[in-house]
Chains A and B, each alone.
Chain A
Amino acid sequence: MLIELFVTFFKIGLFSFGGGYAMIPVIEHEVGLHGWMGTGDFSEMIVLAGMAPGSLAMNSAVFVGYHVGGVLGAIVALLGMVLPSLILVMLVTALIFRMHKHPLYKSVLYGLKPIIIGLSVYAAIRFAGGSMFVGQWDGHTISLIVISLCALLALVRFKLHPVMVMALSGVVGVFLYQ
């Protein structure tokens, strides 16, 4: 099981271009495939991973690892996430220093970057559909949509720090939903 954890997150680590959010669908897919977590647990886990310091993808790996195999599982999952880029930097650094300007590599990134955005959009849709707006169009759902829109406005328009936005939404949540 630990080996399975390691291999899975090594694979995810190898593909985790463009950081955190685009990796949510990938992790969700793998977690579902192995039957490690339910959808409810998973979205809760993403929320916690987003609130902790560090990268979202890496924190998610730690959470899933811990859920599956305790502290050892968490360590194994983290190693799986870190090793691909560590190996890349250590073994082929000289190559990377030249490669990141190579036309072929640039053309790969040209095609890959829109995919990363597509994955993020998909993650947002899934996350909203799976964890927030499951019910009907009642007051609860509408209030969640309002919070989301206010949070987006705060981020885009007023450049509020992501942690600040999460903290404020949490406070609103305490008053509305407890």
Chain B
Amino acid sequence: MKLPETQVAVLEAASADDPRTVESTADETGEPEPSVTGAAFSLEEEGLLAVEETTETDIYLTSEGESYAFEGLPEHTLWATALSLDADERPVDLGRVLAMTTLDDDATDIALANFARKGMGEIDDGGVSVDPDYDLDADPEKRHLDALDEADDGADPADFDADVVERLQGRSLVEEAERTVRRVTLTEAGVTALMEGVEVAETVDQVTPGLVTSGEWAEVEYADYNVEADAEAVYGGRQHPLRGMAERVKDVLVGMGFQEMQGPHVDADFYINDCLFMPQDHPARTHWDRFALEAPAKIDTEDLPADLVEAVERAHREGVGPDGEGYHSPWDEEFARALALRGHTTSLSVRHLAGLADADLEPPERYFSIEKGYRNDTLDATHLLEFFQIEGWVMADDLSVRDLMGTFTEFYEQFGITDIEFKPHYNPYTEPSFELFGRHPETGELIEIGNSGIFRPEMLNPLGVEADVMAWGLALERLYMLVTGAEDIRDVHGTLADLEFLRTEEVTY
């Protein structure tokens, strides 16, 4: 019979009439215990060995027990300190005794309780007197602690006085632990096999094509691997976490019936601001947080649709409708032709609503984009110069504020954000306008999650839109941070990215 090397050793070490523990077998064969256990079970399957399992209880010192074994029991400390102050002759103030020890409040309580129980002396009216004849070394609790301290791997409770052990357990100085002990005995088949002779089978490390095709695989044993050992770190390709978030939001919006928009990142102020009914002297348009281009600087006049320019200028100057009022601000076509990196992606909505991107739109329509906006902000943990704006709008006849609320409630619920509140707000291009607040999925805080509203007639009328359009926007990075708990946006987006983060960040879905 051919058996693997370990099994042969275990079989040879076993006896038919004297059950041997795995532990002793391991000592005898020089094989590690887990290998011996594995081999014993394999041999049991073969019918060559019987394995008997019993559960045994050991007792151990707790960490508190260990420290008392080292430092002495607190009541001993109290006794010895008091004695050094001649408390055998007259009571010594307890406070004075304790001041000389390192006993903390808990240990002091323990010391006082046991001091009295063991009759080591008396404590009366804050004074300590000790029995000088008390023999610390004769204290059975101390002797047990010392003995258990020597038995590192636990001790058999049968070797100790059960009453003392129980008391020490009561003091949480000793604890019990169970362990499984396996004993092996040769079966008759095992005895027979040994008498007929057992050989060590050939083992192989690597399964090779030759081994498989030659049929030799049937003759060999396979060397055990340490299957618990770490394997090398492999980093496969992964989608960028923020990209993954964008894809997830796109899935949600497409599922809600939204079509995706794309369009120019560099665009004329006309589309970025004027078409949004932003007055030309609005601080945001001259403010430094805008990324105006030095070169190229302006779009050509002939590239702006003349009728649209005229309609937008009229809306700015005169307003829209019989009761409309315009802004009391200058309006200049040349100013509108300035090129900039768009500060928001509502410029895409403008181009679509004006029929410049696709064909003219007829209600109902739903559109979205998850594209970059650019803002000359101060770089910090929550601000980058570039951010992905989630922009969405719905065009339909007769949309109400309630439709807007219903749409956003549905959208945010997909990301675990609930209890949406609508704080009335102001945007030059929407009325009514709302800042959106919602309940954070983890912390439960009320947090700002977006800006929304119904586009003003002064914006829609020049674009030739007669239906109602409601719109909202928020930064994808903000949604990402809310959903994942990420705290510094610089880790997530851009060239400062740490590959370790990209390789190990938990995937969200």
Decide if A and B are genuine partners.
no
